[in-house]
Amino acid sequence: MRLSGPLPQASGCGRALILAAALLFSASLLPRPASAVGLVADLSHRLIAITTAFAGTEVLLFGALEAPGSDVVVLVKGPPSDQAVRRKSRIGPIWLNTREITFKGTPGYLALAASKPLDQLVPPAERARYQLGPEHLPLEPIGAAGVSERELAEFRAALVRNKQRQGLWAADVGKITFLGDRLFRTTLVFPANVPPGSYQVQVLEVRDGVVTGAQSSALAISKVGLEADLSRFAHQRPALYGLAAILIAVSAGWGASLVFERR
């Protein structure tokens, strides 16, 4: 097949098709058993730089299947950390935090994409095995002795709501588009408040309700430039950082007052 026009001017869909076709051709050169089903996938970027002007970004995921007839599911998980969920209660005229539960190893970012609705692709047992969705995450509470299962379920639900409200856990499953019967692509969206760290992008090949192939790719999100310097200074010298923030706020207020007095 002959391609016309210069490659750099190809559309996003055209670039994905060309790159996925190259992956498919490379995979076909590898020795495989006759019964094996191959899966190859890649990302348009493996490093996302957070600067002071960072407002979120998108990453293209594209790939190819060795044999047609399968579906694809993509799972993206961000860096784990301990997340506290607090419950407020009204005591007299004010609201105070009266209960707190911390969940260990909670993903800072979570997103799913699939070529069909998940309930049509993967049975519940497989979804739980591969942690496809917030309800299948092993959210382990810390220091929750004596807490009932009902109360734990309420705190887990509150954690999911908080993450989805922040845009860090996608509430909906993204769409994976097939270009022909073997090439596929999807767009991974990362919001402006995405936490820095190491991310895992897992691509699953599903056939007849069973995961028959998987591939994992690493994605790094890192602060660079002034943003990185400020973050490093805030963590290494928190007292000086707080003092500097107060001085800047006071100076800004004093400067604004002078401007209004002259008017």
What distance in Å separates the CA atoms of residue 72 and residue 176, rounded to the nearest whole number? Answer: 7
Spans of all domains in the chain:
7-223, 225-263
User: Is the pLDDT at 97 greater than 90, yes or no?
Assistant: no
Specify the pTM.
Answer: 0.72
Beta bridge partners of residue 140, listed in sequence order: 104
Read off the pLDDT of each residue in 143-162 and give the average, rounded to a whole number.
Answer: 88
Q: Domain 7-223 belongs to what topology? A: Immunoglobulin-like (2.60.40)
The pLDDT value recorded for residue 19 is 55
Read off the pLDDT of each residue in 203-217 and give the average, rounded to a whole number.
Answer: 93
User: Is the pLDDT at 33 greater than 50, yes or no?
Assistant: no
Give counts: helices (H), strands (E), the chain: 6, 13
Range with lowest mean pLDDT among 26-30, 89-93, 108-112, 178-182: 26-30
Bigger pLDDT: 229 vs 139: 139
Helices 225-236 and 238-262: crossing angle in degrees, nearest 10, is 120
The pLDDT value recorded for residue 94 is 75
